[in-house]
Amino acid sequence: MPATAPHPVPDAHGRNLYNTDPDLARLLPLYLPAALCAHLQPHLQRLGGLAGGVLDSLAQTADKHPPTLEHRTRTGLDRQRILKHPAYVEMERVAFGEYGLAAMSHRGGVLGWPDPLPAAAKYALTYLFVQAEFGLCCPLSMTDSLTRTLRKFGAPALLERYLPGLTAQVLDDLTQGAMFMTEQGAGSDVAATATRAVPDGEAYRLHGDKWFCSNPDAGLAMVLARIDGAPAGMGGVSLFLLPRTLPDGSANAYRIVRLKDKLGTRSMASGEIRLEGARAWLVGEAGRGFPQMADMVNNSRLSNGVRAAGLMRRACSEAFFVAAERQAFGRRLQDLPLMRRQLLKLLLPAEQARSMVFQTADALRRADAGEAGAHPLVRLFTPLIKFRACRDARKVTGDAMEVRGGCGYIEDWADPRLLRDAHLGSIWEGTSNIVALDVLRAIRRERALPVWQAHVQGLLDAAPLHPQARRVFDATFFRSLCLLVWASG
Ligand SMILES: Cc1cc2nc3c(=O)[nH]c(=O)nc-3n(C[C@H](O)[C@H](O)[C@H](O)COP(=O)(O)OP(=O)(O)OC[C@H]3O[C@@H](n4cnc5c(N)ncnc54)[C@H](O)[C@@H]3O)c2cc1C
């Protein structure tokens, strides 16, 4: 580190966010097979360079130029289109195209690897990408999660028709995914879903209003609706696949009524949709809409945890850079005792979230391989990381902003964008209270507590801890167990 900074206002732009994060490189061999880990190194390094440079600039531009909704063509045809800024489209090309982030779990051939990539690889790359751009990570996760749910529950004919588009890496061939669940009267309380599904031959016609629809011009969306005559409550809600364009090439019968003016994720469109007899196909079993949609929601809750961890890492990396370069009272900020304390308070939740990302990714890999005991762990870790990391990200990005002083509050820098984006993580895909209740549900229904206890015990036993530190861990662990046993009744 230079004794005197080259300029009094330090700027970290252009730094490689992988090379400047050696702890990430040290973690990966613990979770990835050696050959794959070595294969991914150049890709991680390149993405780290892009995230700290070009992508960061594109994200800044896209944030300042949100998408707009066009209802008619210039020749007067009623054809809706969302106009995305070229900076956002270029980020789509990098994320969906070059890095295949939405495709890599579902087929081989992405990044030159013959098999589908494990969750730990996808999340390591996402963790880097999101340090530059958060908004686009929603369409990426929606596309990935929709594909997962369709593969699990969709009819073979639907899968055959749509899988190639969902996993395409050429933008012109790509079909993006979305999830239209929330209604004015049905947010957390999904059982109140009022959208109607009217049988129409081998498909259904959907009628109703969806109140929050991110990526509203996606080619495919998973939609919750109630088949006419179905019972009230959750047992009457079914899952449907809604294409934007019907197989005969005509536009499906729904309209984007307007786009939301949002605090964060300003680069990406979120809208309101009116379904006017739109044709859709039932996915899986009628009446099991929510349990099936929960699969998609859980995958995207986990992705939210990853994104929150990435936002915190970026906030820390900015704060540590500034603290090393900026001088006050003749000393570098990082040498001032209170600043050292502040930096440590940023680092702790950021590292905690990062550990949780890879622990959950590993549990997911084991669960998908059918390993006994892994599924309850994923069910517990997913709402846990969504709750903890998303809430911590609000505080960490806010406190990191303060390290930059007044400049931290100015929109020329990444700090305000990180803070605005961080606040969304706790709200969408289940608010904090809702995911906290889901932790208890995982404990009660999946009997996750003994599995978690054995897992943590194993990690503690394997760690070369100082006896004093071990005693602190054991006491904390015991207290958490007592709380969970009491809370889950
Ligand atoms: C930018 C943005 C994009 C979004 N994109 C999508 C999308 O693409 N698709 C989609 O389907 N939805 C989307 N959403 C909607 C989002 O998932 C919901 O807003 C969220 O689930 C909360 O629902 P609600 O707004 O109806 O709030 P409510 O459910 O009314 O909740 C209000 C408050 O009550 C609390 N609460 C509710 N139930 C309980 C309980 N049992 N115990 C304690 N507290 C409780 C909640 O925690 C919250 O604090 C998006 C939202 C935003 C802001």
CATH classification at residue 126 = 1.10.540
Query: How far apart, in Å, are the Cα atoms of 83 and each of 79, 88, 98, 166, 221?
Result: 12, 10, 22, 21, 19
CA 155 / ligand 1 centre spacing (Å): 30
Q: Are residues 252 and 321 in the same domain?
A: no
Domain presence at residue 182 = yes
Q: Are residues 344 and 406 in the same domain?
A: yes
Q: Are residues 52 and 152 in the same domain?
A: yes
**What does the radius of gyration of the chain's CA atoms come to, in whole angstroms?**
23
Q: Tell me which of 120, 155, 173 is where a domain ends.
A: 173
Q: What is the pLDDT of residue 1?
A: 44
> Which residue, by CA, sits nearest to atom 4 of ligand 1?
212
Q: What is the pLDDT of residue 484?
A: 87
Percent of the chain at pLDDT above 70?
99
Measured torsion, CA atoms of residues 45, 51, 52, 56, in degrees rounded to the nearest 10: 160
Q: Which of 234, 273, 428 to mutate to test the pocket of ligand 1 (most atoms within 8 A of CB)?
A: 428
Q: Are residues 318 and 466 in the same domain?
A: yes
List, for residues 128-148, the tens digit of each pLDDT value.
Answer: 999 999 999 999 999 999 999
**How high does pLDDT run on average in the chain?**
96
Q: What is the pLDDT of residue 2?
A: 45
Ligand 1 nearest atom to the CA of residue 260, by list position: 1
Which region holds residue 53: left if phi is over 0, alpha if psi is between -120 and 50, else beta?
alpha
Ligand 1 nearest atom to the CA of residue 181, by list position: 11
With residue 139 as reference, give the H or E element that holds it: helix 137-153
Q: What is the pLDDT of residue 174?
A: 98
Contact 68, 270 (CB under 8 A): no
Q: Which of 134, 142, 182 to mutate to test the pocket of ligand 1 (most atoms within 8 A of CB)?
A: 182
Ligand 1 nearest atom to the CA of residue 189, by list position: 29
Q: Which of 427, 435, 439, 440 to mutate to test the pocket of ligand 1 (most atoms within 8 A of CB)?
A: 427
Q: Rounded distance, CA 344 to CA 347, Å?
A: 5
Q: Are residues 227 and 134 in the same domain?
A: no
SS3 213: strand
CA 300 / ligand 1 centre spacing (Å): 15
Total domain count for the chain? Answer: 3
Residues 6+ away with beta carbon under 8 Å from 45: 16, 18, 19
> Which residue, by CA, sits nearest to atom 21 of ligand 1?
430
SS3 215: coil
Q: What is the pLDDT of residue 5?
A: 53
> Which residue, by CA, sits nearest to atom 7 of ligand 1?
213
Contact 383, 300 (CB under 8 A): no
pLDDT at 296 over 90: no
Domain presence at residue 11 = no
pLDDT at 59 over 50: yes
Q: Which of 434, 439, 440, 441 to mutate to test the pocket of ligand 1 (most atoms within 8 A of CB)?
A: 434
List all residues whose CB is within 6 A of at least one atom of ligand 1: 179-182, 187-188, 212-214, 262, 265, 270, 424, 427-431, 433-434
Q: Are residues 83 and 209 in the same domain?
A: no
Q: What is the pLDDT of residue 487?
A: 86
Terminal Cα-to-Cα distance of the chain (whole angstroms) = 54
Alpha helices in 248-373 (DSSP H): 289-325, 337-368
Q: Rounded distance, CA 368 to CA 375, Å?
A: 8
> Which residue, by CA, sits nearest to atom 5 of ligand 1?
214
Q: For 195, what's the count of Cα atoms within 13 Å in the CB-facing half-sphere? A: 34
CA 380 / ligand 1 centre spacing (Å): 20
Mean pLDDT of 433-450: 93
Q: Rounded distance, CA 410 to CA 170, Å?
A: 36
Q: Rounded distance, CA 441 to CA 447, Å?
A: 9
Q: The CATH number of the domain where 346 resides is what? A: 1.20.140.10
Domain presence at residue 403 = yes
Q: Which of 188, 298, 435 to mutate to test the pocket of ligand 1 (most atoms within 8 A of CB)?
A: 188
Q: Tell me which of 118, 148, 173 is where a domain ends.
A: 173
List, for residues 392-436, the tens digit of each pLDDT value.
Answer: 999 999 999 999 999 999 999 999 999 999 999 999 999 999 999
CA 431 / ligand 1 centre spacing (Å): 6
Confidence of residue 237 (pLDDT cuts 50, 70, 90): very high
Q: What is the pLDDT of residue 300?
A: 86
Q: Are residues 340 and 280 in the same domain?
A: no
SS3 3: coil
Please state whether beta strands 196-200 and 220-227 pair in parallel, antiparallel, or not at all (unpaired): parallel
CA 268 / ligand 1 centre spacing (Å): 18
Domain presence at residue 413 = yes
Mean pLDDT of 259-280: 98
Q: Are residues 138 and 93 in the same domain?
A: yes
Domain presence at residue 1 = no
Q: Are residues 308 and 420 in the same domain?
A: yes
Domain presence at residue 160 = yes
Residues constituting the chain? 489
Domain presence at residue 35 = yes
Q: Rounded distance, CA 131 to CA 404, Å?
A: 17
Domain presence at residue 3 = no
Contact 260, 212 (CB under 8 A): yes
SS3 134: coil
List, for residues 240-268, the tens digit of each pLDDT value.
Answer: 999 999 999 999 999 999 999 999 999 99
Q: The CATH number of the domain where 275 resides is what? A: 2.40.110.20
* Segments forming the whole domain that contains residue 245: 177-287
Q: Are residues 450 and 402 in the same domain?
A: yes
Contact 47, 95 (CB under 8 A): no
> Which residue, by CA, sits nearest to atom 30 of ligand 1?
187
Closest CA to 168 of 235, 203, 129, 219: 219
The DSSP-derived string for 223-247 is: EEEEETTPPSSGGGEEEEEEESB-T
The DSSP-derived string for 449-463 is: HHHHHHHHHHHHHHS
Q: Are residues 331 and 444 in the same domain?
A: yes
pLDDT at 3 over 60: no
Mean pLDDT of 435-460: 93
List, for residues 156-209, the tens digit of each pLDDT value.
Answer: 999 999 999 999 999 999 999 999 999 999 999 999 999 999 999 999 999 999
Q: Are residues 76 and 146 in the same domain?
A: yes
> Which residue, by CA, sits nearest to atom 26 of ligand 1?
187
Q: Tell me which of 151, 173, 195 is where a domain ends.
A: 173
